[in-house]
Amino acid sequence: MPKRLMYTGGPLDRAGDRRRDSAGIAELLSHPQARIAPVWRDRNLVEPGDDKSDGGPRAGWLTGAAAVTVTTQSSVQVFLGLWNDAPYFAVDLSHHEEHALPDLINGATFEDLRQVGRLLAADEATILAYARGMTHWHRRQK
């Protein structure tokens, strides 16, 4: 079976029918399984690998209280879609200076996806690329 090209065929159900429902989006944003992909100046949050897994880096999803805090400090929140019953969002933190980024990233760093994308799981890399693209677009359309 041929390998999938990187950043194609992502796993998200983009739920286009829900995008104009602002109350529904707010509800999804507060969903206990919501995953937030922070983006800072076109860089994605990436967690370092560990010895318990395959050692490779992972997407730096924020959840729970960290997700709520980062969302309230972001200039843009974008609903990306649903995957495995969890809503996924991108938030743009580009207006923060690096030293002022929220202290919620627990050892993760903001990385250029072009440098680390091939090291991530394909589905995660695809979602991060989508998050980067959407926050970039929103930042440029103001």
Give the per-residue pLDDT at 6. Answer: 78
Written as six digits, the tokens of 138 are 């929103």
Average pLDDT over residues 78-107: 89
Write down the pTM of the prediction: 0.90
Q: Integer distance in angstroms from the first to the last C-alpha of the chain?
A: 44
- pLDDT tens per residue, range 1-30: 566 677 888 899 999 899 899 999 999 999
Q: How far apart are CA 43 and CA 98, in angstroms?
A: 12
CA distances, 139 to each of 57, 75, 76, 134, 135 (Å): 27, 9, 8, 9, 6
Give the per-residue pLDDT at 54. Answer: 67
Give the per-residue pLDDT at 7. Answer: 81
Domains, the chain: 16-140 (3.90.79)
